[in-house]
């Protein structure tokens, strides 16, 4: 390669490396702000500030959704399978909200370790499948759980 071009190429590569390092350091420094939500373990560890608007995210724990028959108030536990946090919300939930589904709730922690949400968004995963396949999977899982001496996790609660 021509020496001038070699020199230009080096300059461009230096530019790219420099910019990448700068952006990497910036995003690393801002990682708390870029993270959309705190997971329940972070909240349990006391990393989430009390009485500041934050988001909490995780899975809705099976069997913990309690609806108030008189109003739109809902209570449920959000878990990341190591710890969980109780969420209280008044309002209409998105269609995809269900036990075992991911959610991101916006609100604040009150002093008693309870998360008071004013917005609940549903989070879905990257897996797509036809309904029949899902039914078949659930049936298979149910059979396995019903078998005597089954070792599979029965926490699914079907």
Partner 1 sequence: MWQIFHKLGSPKWFFGIASTLMPWLLVAGAALLMTGIVWGLVFAPQDYLQGNSYRIIFIHVPSAFLAQSVYIMMAVAALVTLVWRMKLADVFVTAVAPVGAVLTFLALFTGAVWGKPTWGTWWIWDARLTSMLILLFLYFGVMALGAAISDEKSSARAVAVLVLVGVVNIPIIKYSVEWWNTLHQPATFKLTEKPSMPAEMWVPLLLSVLGLYLIFGWLACLRMQTHILAREGRTRWVKELVQAREN
Residues in touch with partner 1 (CB under 8 A) = 5, 8-9, 12, 15-16, 19-20, 23, 27, 31, 34-39, 57, 93-96, 101, 104, 119-135
CA atoms within 13 A on the CB side of 126: 0
Q: How far is the CB of 9 from partner 1 (least distance, A)?
A: 5
2 annotated to a ligand binding site: no
Q: How far is the CB of 148 from partner 1 (least distance, A)?
A: 29
Q: How far is the CB of 60 from partner 1 (least distance, A)?
A: 14
- Of 88 and 102, nearer to partner 1 (C-beta) is 102
28 annotated to a ligand binding site: no
Name the strand (E) or helix (H) holding 10: helix 3-29
Q: How far is the CB of 157 from partner 1 (least distance, A)?
A: 18
| Cβ atoms 61, 99 nearer than 8 A | yes
Our measurement of the distance from residue 92's CA atom to the centroid of its chain's CA atoms, rounded to an integer in Å, reads: 19
- CA-to-CA dists, residue 77 to 16, 103, 111, 149, angstroms: 45, 11, 17, 29
- Of 20 and 90, nearer to partner 1 (C-beta) is 20
**Kind of pairing, strands 84-90 and 114-123?**
parallel
Residues in binding site = 124, 128
Residues in binding site for heme = 124, 128
């Amino acid at each position: 390669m021509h020496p001038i071009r070699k020199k230009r190429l080096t300059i461009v590569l230096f530019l790219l490396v420099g910019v990448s390092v700068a952006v990497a350091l910036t995003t690393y420094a801002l990682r708390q702000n870029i993270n959309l939500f705190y997971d329940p373990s972070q909240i349990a560890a006391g990393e989430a500030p009390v009485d500041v608007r934050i988001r909490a995210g995780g899975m809705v724990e099976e069997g913990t959704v309690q609806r108030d028959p008189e109003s739109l108030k809902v209570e449920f536990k959000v878990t990341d399978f190591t710890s969980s946090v109780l969420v209280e919300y008044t309002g209409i939930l998105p269609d995809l909200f269900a036990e075992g589904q991911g959610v991101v709730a916006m609100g604040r922690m009150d002093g008693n370790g309870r998360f008071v949400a004013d917005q609940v968004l549903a989070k879905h995963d990257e897996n797509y499948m036809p309904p029949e396949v899902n039914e078949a999977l659930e049936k298979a899982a149910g059979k396995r759980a019903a078998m005597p001496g089954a070792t599979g996790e029965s926490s699914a609660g079907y």
